[in-house]
Amino acid sequence: MKAIHLTAYGNPTQHLQMVEVAEPSAPAMGEVLVRMEYAPVDYSDLLLANGVYFLNPQLPSVIGGEGAGIVEALGPGVSNVKVGDRVTIPFRTFTWAEKVLAPADGLFVPDPFWSLAATAQRPPESVGTDSADARASEFSVVGTAPDGGPNPSQTRCDSSQQKSDG
């Protein structure tokens, strides 16, 4: 599956790479497997990539602090969500991958009338652009202004056009 790895701290334009990684294993106790639909670029992601945020994962690492997706599988003991629910991803679960394992107790099932962007970005007032029309093979990158307000910029990367080294 495709994911975006941070390979070194510093300039994100030089150290973020789309890579092929193994799909996550089956969810463990209290976890769910989520197929990501939307994972915006947030100001905190840029701080993390530059090495000036309080989270410093061991590199290379997937990053991305917000997102929304569809629950694909439940681990033992999970009862607060069901397969098929659209959920927001809890803090400390990195989202720039096609699928992620997330702790079930941190998931939130939003109102079904929320846009995909509103679901992914918290609080809903900071919503930028909705990319609900993106094809399954696309990664959408939507920006918000540093103050959390809307920024109408949006970039799509059609991952079906990406070449793999492997």
Closest CA to 62 of 107, 33, 92, 88: 92
User: Helix (H, G, I), strand (E, B), or coil: what is residue 78?
Assistant: coil
The residues annotated as belonging to the active site are 53
Which class for 144: exposed (0-12), middle (13-18), buried (19 or more C-beta within 10 A)?
Answer: buried
C-alpha dihedral sign at 50, 39, 28, 20: negative
Q: What distance in Å separates the CA atoms of residue 61 and residue 104, rounded to the nearest whole number?
A: 22
Q: Which two tokens stand for residue 1?
A: 């599956």
